[in-house]
Amino acid sequence: MAGDSRNNEVQMLELLLGLSLPDSYKTFLLGSEHTTVNGLPILGLPVDLSPSSALGATELVRSSRSDLETKYVAIRLLDCRALCLEISDPRSSSDAPLVEINLRDGTPPEYVHPSFKQYVEEGVQKNQEILLAVNRLENLQKLSGEKNPACNMSRFDHKIADRFPEAKQRREYRCCVHDHIVGLTALQFDKNINGLIIDVFLATDHPGYQEGHGVQALVTLILSDAYKCGGSMALQFTGNVNAGRIPDDLVYLGKMFGIAFKHTEEGHIDHDESVALYGHLTGLSTETQEIIKRLHKCGQNISIEGISFLIASDIWKNHEVEWVLKNFSRPEDLLLGMDKPENRLKYCESISFGCAALGISKLQQKIAADISVDKDNPVIEDAACTVSIKNNIATFHANYLYALPWINVAERLLMDPNETLHVAPLPVKYRHTFGEVVKNYASLMNDQRSAVLTTKEAEEDPQFDKISEELHKNTRASLMILPFRFDELEQEVASKMMRAGRVRQ
């Protein structure tokens, strides 16, 4: 009786949609249990107009995207995106490809997978791999807890222990997004290879994020752990991971960054390969990595893995690091927190350049926030503003229209999505020659959309209005004033330097 009822519901769904569903999807609907793929359920029955059913979700897609044909059946809704079956043949077929439709803009559907059947099978297989990995982690956790319960990372408690697990002890990590596991690993330091032994490695994707984010997050976590251990960055995978080979996801990730692992079959990644991968994962450009290598060869206490760890720990942003490396004569003293307040002159200089670099991040956050909230589009999930550094100029590129913030001009200057904004952050140490320095900085930028960025104290300069007017008139550059005083930024930079000083140099 239950089977007949489901068959009737499937037929009713086809009738209301005006489409013949592919056999693979009908088999899925007739199954006793619906499957989650990448942590989210596939929509289907019952036949009603709620967004949690295939009929309701499809009607939402059709009303939102009336410009598209009615050959799409929505099987998942996430934010402003719908995962749909594309039924090109009005008659019944065995299978159908999957496309993603944006409900808010007029972009054409984007192909996600050639087969719904394979998509579900891959999801089931990944769920089984996650279950096996979780079971193995739990078994390892029990074993670790029996040997040394006070040093079990997963159940660490200050009441019963006064220290975290040592590097040589096994540690388990889980990376999750919205309660969906995107990464699992178990590792420990081995003095024989002077690196990490990895006994569990599993990475998956969440549909709300870019493809490959799971393996990138997991590998970044592993390499950060390797750096904290104090040995080399070498990694060795055991026979429990991909039959002793380097995981396929990790091999593909290396190829994305132009890194070909030499010992794939042996499951070994050497120190140099790990360092190069770590640098790319934390957003260090090839040019920046070469600068760090040159400084290291000159005897300065700075390395790619050390800087990458600071970025991964969210102490510095990669564009802040790049600007400091290209503009400050003592970058290691600022980035690694080596300058101390007792050495007043050097410390003030580091703080000054640190505030200039921090101003770039403040401007990026402001632009991203402005384009995320719009009167026509209350919420824009994919709002983004990227930053690149060339010499002392920071170049901003946003994917939506926005108005230039913090400028001292009467008219409202708008930036199109295809336009770039060139900004020169002004270190506060140059404030005593404010007018001349502003003009010199502006002369380096010939682009119409450019600005000189400085702190709120600039408004106290007697010549401020005159300098701002001449600057905009003669160079078409704007004077951009941060809504922060120098001492406010100074506290944040000092905190960054203090945190950086606590980690291994």
pLDDT in tens, 72-129: 999 999 888 999 999 986 655 889 999 999 998 888 999 999 999 999 988 888 888 8
pLDDT band at 158 (very low <50, low <70, confident <90, very high): very low
pLDDT reported for residue 250:
96
pLDDT reported for residue 78:
86
pLDDT reported for residue 502:
86
Q: Which two tokens stand for residue 144?
A: 């670790």
The CA-atom distances, in angstroms, between 180 and each of 5, 38, 174 are 33, 8, 10
pLDDT digits (tens, 9 = 90+) for 46-79: 899 998 899 999 999 999 999 998 899 999 998 8
pLDDT reported for residue 441:
60
Among candidate residues 118, 314, 294, 286, the one with its CA nearest the CA of residue 224: 314
pLDDT band at 154 (very low <50, low <70, confident <90, very high): very low
pLDDT reported for residue 135:
82
- Looking at the predicted structure, is the pLDDT value of residue 160 above 60? no
pLDDT reported for residue 126:
82
More confident call, 380 vs 399: 399
Among candidate residues 440, 434, 441, 447, the one with its CA nearest the CA of residue 486: 434
Question: Looking at residues 216-236, what average pLDDT do you find?
Answer: 94
pLDDT reported for residue 92:
57
Bond from prior residue into 46 cis (ω within 30 degrees of 0): yes
Q: Cβ contacts of residue 290 below 8 Å, gap of 6+?
A: none
The CA-atom distances, in angstroms, between 43 and each of 3, 35, 83 are 19, 10, 10
Q: Cβ contacts of residue 250 below 8 Å, gap of 6+?
A: 201, 215, 219
Per DSSP, the residues of 255-311 read: HHTT---TBTTTTEE-HHHHHHHHHHHTT--HHHHHHHHHHHHTT-S--HHHHHHHH
Among candidate residues 279, 277, 273, 280, the one with its CA nearest the CA of residue 302: 279
Q: Which two tokens stand for residue 38?
A: 């990448």
Question: Looking at residues 131-139, what average pLDDT do you find?
Answer: 79
Question: Quick check: helix, strand or coil at residue 173?
Answer: strand
- Looking at the predicted structure, is the pLDDT value of residue 432 above 60? no
pLDDT band at 247 (very low <50, low <70, confident <90, very high): very high
Q: Which two tokens stand for residue 325?
A: 């490396």
pLDDT reported for residue 410:
65
- Residue at 379: amino acid letter: V
- Looking at the predicted structure, is the pLDDT value of residue 500 above 90? yes
- Residue at 244: amino acid letter: G
427 vs 453: CA distance, rounded Å: 9
Per DSSP, the residues of 39-88 read: TEEPP--S-SSSTTSHHHHHHHHHHH-TTS-S-EEEEEEETTEEEEEE--
The CA-atom distances, in angstroms, between 181 and each of 37, 107, 113, 177, 419 are 12, 30, 21, 6, 38
pLDDT band at 40 (very low <50, low <70, confident <90, very high): confident
The answer to whether the beta carbons of residues 288 and 302 sit under 8 Å apart is no
- Looking at the predicted structure, is the pLDDT value of residue 162 above 70? no
pLDDT reported for residue 439:
60
Question: Looking at residues 321-334, what average pLDDT do you find?
Answer: 95
Three-point CA angle 160, 163, 168, nearest 5°: 120
pLDDT reported for residue 123:
85
454 vs 466: CA distance, rounded Å: 16
pLDDT digits (tens, 9 = 90+) for 302-326: 999 999 999 999 999 999 999 999 9
Q: β-strand 171-177 against 268-269: which pairing, if any?
A: unpaired
- Looking at the predicted structure, is the pLDDT value of residue 496 above 60? yes
Span of 165-174, 334-343, 348-357, 449-458 with lowest mean pLDDT: 165-174
Give this prediction's pTM: 0.80
pLDDT reported for residue 437:
59
pLDDT reported for residue 198:
95
Domains and CATH numbers, the chain: 1-116 (3.40.1580.10), 146-282 (3.40.630), 340-490 (no CATH)
- Looking at the predicted structure, is the pLDDT value of residue 24 above 80? yes
pLDDT digits (tens, 9 = 90+) for 373-384: 654 554 455 668
415 vs 419: CA distance, rounded Å: 6
pLDDT reported for residue 32:
57
pLDDT band at 151 (very low <50, low <70, confident <90, very high): very low
pLDDT reported for residue 2:
58
276 vs 304: CA distance, rounded Å: 8
Q: Is the dihedral of CA 219, 222, 225, 226 positive or negative?
A: negative
